[in-house]
Amino acid sequence: MFERVEAAPKDAILGLTEAFQADPRPEKINLSVGVYQDENGRTPLLECVQEAERRLAAAPTTKSYLPIAGLGEYTAAVAELAFGAEAAALSRERMAAAQTPGGTGALRVAADFIRANLPGASAWLSEPTWPNHPQIFSAAGVATKTYPYFDAQSNSLDLEGMLAAIAKAPAGDVILLHGCCHNPTGIDPTLQEWRRIAEAVHDRGLLPLVDFAYQGFADGIDQDAAGLRVLARPGAEVLACTSFSKNFSLYRERVGAIFALAGSGEAARRVQSQLEKAIRANYSNPPGHGAEVVATILRDADLRRQWEGEVATMRNRINGMRSELVKALQDYHVPGDYSFITRQRGMFSFSGLSKAQVERLREEFAIYVVGSGRINVAGLTPCNVDRVAESIGKVVKA
Ligand code: LMR
């Protein structure tokens, strides 16, 4: 039977890291996958995480199964972080919640839930979006459509195009919105724009699904939640998927959550039962360690303060590297105005490099960026930014 199986294409993002690891050139630089590195090129184990792990190790409990929906104290703390303490308290009764293996696990549960409970609903994805989004919905059997998001001319949000598409989408469809740090463009709506988007989404009767994987990496923990909180206005229905891979640097622990804000407590309980059904058939129940670490930090005032400081350090370093990259591109007289890079937010910059230029960067200069031209700015360091800018210059001038 296996003789007839065809090889799948390499993953658009993780496949590049495999190629990077196999590359023998010592000068290689990986700016593909969204993983934060400090100025020494290391992905840090946060101090607050190390302290939480020491505390957990000092008071071992059990490794028995967690409930299908995971640790209750974790999901309660995450709901407060994402929706705001006051809103989370007010909407507790009408909120379904589950801990998931990372943001991807949350998205897959969301997709399974949509397929099983919202028959015929399509999921609308921004054009462009994270390449895994269409795969996740397709694997779950949910059709996808796209709405305009990015205006390449002005390197900014195509708000009017987006609103026009929303106005025409069939009521009952799902619209996936990136809570902050849009992947791959780095372009986020302003608060004013979020208000217009939320108005349009609710008026049209679409269900917003917010992918919220970078809280704290744009402007601040609460500032970055503005879009989600505008969408989650009283009485609204919202699905949200969160991840702590990046902002707790817990990538391999796979820590995320899904929330469904319903119109009533009764509906929330039914939705909760369906989320749990999807989880049980998918991975049964979530892993414990990462969520225990996050809950320990979020529930302790000192650790929480320490975490906020460490997120700010990561955010400020990324934003600093944005300016450094623009300056280095100017120093190397790279044709074009790259100042838009400093206006983008989060880990990524949509550089405008073509597929051919991306290939040349990889083949000739051992610099790996995603085929769409997405650069992981969080992988730039004071040691590699000059070589990156110089190499970009060479492929652009060619
Ligand atoms: C990325 O976009 O690089 C990250 O979200 C990591 C991933 O899983 O693709």
Bridge partner list, 212: 242
Nearest atom (ligand 1) to Cα of 376: 3
DSSP string covering 89-107: HHTGGGEEEEEESHHHHHH
- Could you say which DSSP state residue 27 is in? T
How is domain 65-299 classified at the CATH fold level? Aspartate Aminotransferase; domain 2 (3.40.640)
Q: Find the helix packing angle between 301-331 and 289-298, rounded to 10°.
A: 100
How is domain 11-45+316-397 classified at the CATH fold level? Aspartate Aminotransferase, domain 1 (3.90.1150)
Single-letter residue type at 333? H
DSSP string covering 40-71: TS-----HHHHHHHHHHHHS----SPPPTT--
Residue nearest atom 5 of ligand 1, based on CA coordinates: 34
> Which regions of the chain carry the CATH code 3.90.1150.10?
11-45+316-397
251 in ligand 1 pocket by Cβ < 6 Å?
no
Look up residue 143 and give its two tokens.
């059709």
Distance CA(266)–CA(271), nearest Å, equals 9
13 in ligand 1 pocket by Cβ < 6 Å?
yes
pLDDT at 138 over 90: yes
Q: What spacing in Å lies between the alpha carbon of 370 and ligand 1's midpoint? A: 10
Q: Determine the pLDDT at residue 60.
A: 87
Handedness of CA 394, 186, 12, 214 (dihedral sign): positive
Distance CA(78)–CA(53), nearest Å, equals 18
Q: What spacing in Å lies between the alpha carbon of 15 and ligand 1's midpoint? A: 11
pLDDT at 89 over 90: no
Q: What spacing in Å lies between the alpha carbon of 246 and ligand 1's midpoint? A: 10
Which pLDDT band holds residue 103 (cuts at 50, 70, 90)? very high
pLDDT at 234 over 90: no
Could you give the percent of the chain with pLDDT greater than 70? 100
pLDDT at 204 over 90: yes
Which pLDDT band holds residue 50 (cuts at 50, 70, 90)? very high
pLDDT at 288 over 90: yes
Residue 69 CA, distance from chain mean position: 21
Active-site residue, 211 included: yes
Residue 61: how many CB atoms within 10 A of its CB? Answer: 8
Phi-psi region of 65 (alpha: psi -120 to 50; beta: other; left: phi over 0): beta
Supply the mean pLDDT for the chain. Answer: 96
Look up residue 108 and give its two tokens.
């897959």
pLDDT at 398 over 90: no
Active-site residue, 246 included: yes
Residues with Cβ < 8 Å from 170, sequence gap 6 or more?
Answer: 122
pLDDT in tens, 63-72: 999 999 999 9
> Which regions of the chain carry the CATH code 3.40.640.10?
65-299
Bridge partner list, 208: 175
Tokens 């939640």 -> residue = 225
pTM of the predicted structure, to 2 decimals: 0.96
